Structures are given as structure tokens and as C-alpha cells.
Amino acid sequence: MDDWFPIQVKQKDKVGRPDIDEFETAMRRAERKKGFFVAFDYSRDALAEIQDFFVREHKVIVPLTVQEILDEAIARKLA
């Protein structure tokens, strides 16, 4: 069985589009349809790229913030 999801964790104040682009490349290479990205915050460009990636390739990147994890507010994003 080949059920696993790529996860990227960045210790940056704000993740930008280049970080998302790199993760997209890793997802393509691993032939994954869903991945998780954890950071303190995301730039508008990064969030826009996550949406564009879904529209272009029908692959999902779930952006999680550290605060959401600490607040245990991630259940709706994991569905």
C-alpha cells in the first residue's frame, strides 16, 4: 500500500511562493496528490500559488500554521 503524504515544515516567519514552488516540485516527483506544509505564516503569493497549483494540477497542498496546530484548530483542514 502506498498511502503517505509529503510534509514540509519551515521555521520561517513567513513562507513565500518560492518555498511553495519547491514543495510542488517534490510532490510532482513523488507523484503525490496531497501534501501538508507547516509554517508560522504564509505570504499572499504563497497562498495564491497553493490555489493555482490545485487549479492547474488538481493536487492539494494543505497550509497549516504553527498556531493552528497549537490551538488544535486543524480538524477542518484535514478533512
Does residue 2 fall inside a structural domain?
no
What is the extent of the structural domain holding 42? 7-78
Q: What CATH number does the domain containing 29 carry?
A: 3.40.1340.10
Does residue 1 fall inside a structural domain?
no
Does residue 35 fall inside a structural domain?
yes
pLDDT of residue 45: 98
Whole-number Cα distances in Å, 17 to 10, 24, 31, 46, 72:
13, 10, 21, 4, 26
- CA dihedral (27, 32, 33, 39) in degrees, to 10, reads -50
pLDDT of residue 72: 81
Domain count for the chain, please give it: 1
pLDDT of residue 55: 98
Spell out the residues 6+ positions from residue 34 whose beta carbon is closer than 8 angstroms to its own: 5, 59, 60, 61, 62
Per residue of the chain (79 residues), give pLDDT as tens.
578 999 999 999 999 999 999 999 999 999 999 999 999 999 999 999 999 999 999 999 999 999 998 888 777 777 6
pLDDT of residue 16: 98
